[in-house]
């Protein structure tokens, strides 16, 4: 039997902690326990392509799309409750981590305050992003859902109200995050301070619309070694001299110098992609005569990052559509501004749902010298993805999914990319 949209929404909301679960509805002091399970299998058919952290080779079981989540809520008083959610992920060797831990207080019937470890409301599906059962995909496309972290420590205030026939929800959040962050497959010690944001969601019949904004001050701990810098400078000078001796132009010599320095950094132990990009920015920027102000823009100390999101969905019970777009803007030249969007539709035939989605991601370099240096460092990328899939509801809380994605990297690290196909299957349930 297929779960009704209302029943499915309520169960998902409870598991995700999207609502504060008014304690006044509880008649006793019992714990409420919810959970979800995602079991995934995938196969990627080509190497030298980047689709999240999926690897090519033999089919891989119970890693990227596998996780177990458990949420416990406990009433503390008539208006206050405590919630903790833990997750064990297959791609983290099933180590248990605390994804949510907050106190929720009902200020009024329509206003809730939460404090603790919360989910940052970046996306339309943010609150239940880990609950695969909540949507038709095995996982939302990484072209749009590309933020490398989900939680923060802070507070949020949610107020619900109505405007005629439209119900609305306004959420304001503030906090910080002092934890490691994964960028391009490497971990970096980070401090994300002054995480502040606001989002507005409108519910009107079969339509839902959402708009949101977040910003934070970024601080990343990057590696810098004077000996490696000196070796890179020597290699760059040697490569530039070869080009000039052969009658090449100053532009060609600069590109050769960048290549020589990059080769040195790539061989150095412990260096990661952003470490190399920062070191290259210093060297190439000085070699090309860029100003100190431009070069200083290529660090990650107290640099603001801004995030914009807009989404619309339609669901009449059988046919559904989703449109979602994001824009990332960075003060640091090391991280290139990005615009991404997805458009998808699905049709339900009883317990079977067929769906198709197109998504794209486009990096946008800055203008002037800052953009020229980004191009020399080959920081930009562009890609498109097309996903088709099916979902079969085995019962009211269990879904079996199959999907195939064709991923086309038009540009990867400033050069022409390649294409690959990703095949995924998953069994996802809630309890």
DSSP readout, 335-365? Answer: S-EEEEEEEEEEEEETTEEEEEEEEEEEEEP
What percentage of residues in the chain have a pLDDT greater than 90? 62
CB 307 within 8 A of CB 327: yes
Residue 25 has pLDDT above 70, yes or no: no
**Ramachandran region, residue 347 (left: φ > 0; alpha: ψ -120 to 50; beta: rest):** beta
Structure tokens at 196: 């502040």
The pLDDT of residue 251 is 74
- State the greatest distance between any 2 C-alpha atoms of the chain, in Å, as a whole number: 85
Total residues belonging to the chain: 431
On the question of pLDDT at 16 being above 70, the answer is no
How much is the pLDDT for 23?
39
E strands present in 120-252: 151-163, 166-177, 181-183, 186-188, 190-204, 207-220
Distance of alpha carbon 109 from alpha carbon 160, whole angstroms: 9
Q: Are 337 and 330 in contact (CB under 8 A)?
A: yes
- Bridge partners of 398, per DSSP, are 395, 429
Mean pLDDT for 114-119 is 97
**Residue whose C-alpha is closest to residue 143's, from 379, 405, 334:** 405
Portion of the chain with pLDDT greater than 70, in percent: 93
pLDDT at 107: 97
- Most trustworthy range by pLDDT among 214-228, 275-289, 328-342: 328-342
How much is the pLDDT for 183?
Answer: 86
Is it the case that residue 2 has pLDDT exceeding 80?
no
Task: For residue 37, list its beta bridge partners.
Answer: 68, 429
pLDDT, residue 237, reads: 83
Structure tokens at 134: 């909540």
Beta bridge partners of 339: 327, 362
State the residue for tokens 């086309």.
408
Identify the structural domains of the chain with CATH numbers, from first to last.
5-222+300-430 (2.40.160.10), 226-296 (no CATH)
Q: What is the pLDDT of residue 8?
A: 53
- Kindly tell me if the per-residue pLDDT of 17 is higher than 90: no
pTM: 0.88
Query: CA 75: distance to chain centroid?
Result: 32
pLDDT at residue 19, as a whole number: 43
Tell whether the model's pLDDT for residue 201 goes beyond 90: yes
pLDDT: is 270 or 112 the higher one? 112
For the ranges 195-199, 261-265, 371-375, 400-404, the lowest mean pLDDT is seen at: 261-265
User: Residue 216, class by beta-carbon neighbours within 10 Å (0-12 exposed, 13-18 middle, 19+ buried)?
Assistant: buried
Average of per-residue pLDDT across 336-350: 97
The b/e string for 15-32 (b: 16+ C-beta within 10 A; e otherwise) is bbbbebbebeeeeeeeee
pLDDT at 335 over 70: yes
As beta bridge partners, residue 241 has none
pLDDT at 6: 46
pLDDT over threshold 80, residue 9: no
Average pLDDT, the chain: 89
Q: Considering only residues 384 and 277, tell me which one the structure prediction assigns the higher pLDDT.
A: 384
Q: Tell me the HSE value of 43 on the side-chain side, using a 13 A CA sphere.
A: 7
Greatest mean pLDDT among 41-45, 49-53, 292-296 lies in 41-45
């Amino acid at each position: 039997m297929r779960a009704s949209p209302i029943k499915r929404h309520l169960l998902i909301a409870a598991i995700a902690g999207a609502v504060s679960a008014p304690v006044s509805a509880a008649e006793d002091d019992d714990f409420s326990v919810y959970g979800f399970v995602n079991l995934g299998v995938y196969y990627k058919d080509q190497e030298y392509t980047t689709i999240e952290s999926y690897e090519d080779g033999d089919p891989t079981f119970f890693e990227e799309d596998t996780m177990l989540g458990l949420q416990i809520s406990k009433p503390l008083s008539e208006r206050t409750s405590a919630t903790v959610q833990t997750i064990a992920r297959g791609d983290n060797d099933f180590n248990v981590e605390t994804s949510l831990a907050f106190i929720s207080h009902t200020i009024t019937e329509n206003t809730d305050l939460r404090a603790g470890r919360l989910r940052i409301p970046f996306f339309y599906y943010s609150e239940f992003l880990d609950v695969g059962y909540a949507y038709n995909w095995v996982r939302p496309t990484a072209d749009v859902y590309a933020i490398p972290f989900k939680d923060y420590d802070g507070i949020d205030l949610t107020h619900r109200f109505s405007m005629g026939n439209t119900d609305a929800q306004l959420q304001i959040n503030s906090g910080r995050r002092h934890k490691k962050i994964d960028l391009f497959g490497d971990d970096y010690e980070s401090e994300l301070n002054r995480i502040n944001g606001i989002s507005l969601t409108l519910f009107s019949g079969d339509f839902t619309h959402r708009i949101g904004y977040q910003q934070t001050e970024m601080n990343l701990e990057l590696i810098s070694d004077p000996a490696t810098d000196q070796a890179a400078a020597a290699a760059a000078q040697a490569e530039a001299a070869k080009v000039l001796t052969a009658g090449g132009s100053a532009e060609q010599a600069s590109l050769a110098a960048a290549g020589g320095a990059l080769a040195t950094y790539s061989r150095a132990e412990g260096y990661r992609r952003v470490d190399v990009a920062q070191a290259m920015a210093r060297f190439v920027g000085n070699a090309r005569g860029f100003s100190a102000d431009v070069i200083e823009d290529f660090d990650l100390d107290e640099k603001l990052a801004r995030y914009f999101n807009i989404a619309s969905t339609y669901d009449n019970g059988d046919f559904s559509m989703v449109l979602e777009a994001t824009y990332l803007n960075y003060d640091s030249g090391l991280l290139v501004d990005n615009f991404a969007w997805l458009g998808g539709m699905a049709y339900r035939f009883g317990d079977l749902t067929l769906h198709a989605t197109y998504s794209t991601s486009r990096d946008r370099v800055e203008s002037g010298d800052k953009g020229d240096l980004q191009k020399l460092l080959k920081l930009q990328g562009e890609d498109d993805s097309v996903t088709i899939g099916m979902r079969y509801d085995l019962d009211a809380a269990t879904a079996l999914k199959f999907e195939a994605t064709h991923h086309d990297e038009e540009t990867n690290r400033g050069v022409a990319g390649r294409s690959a196909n990703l095949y995924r299957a998953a069994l996802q349930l809630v309890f």
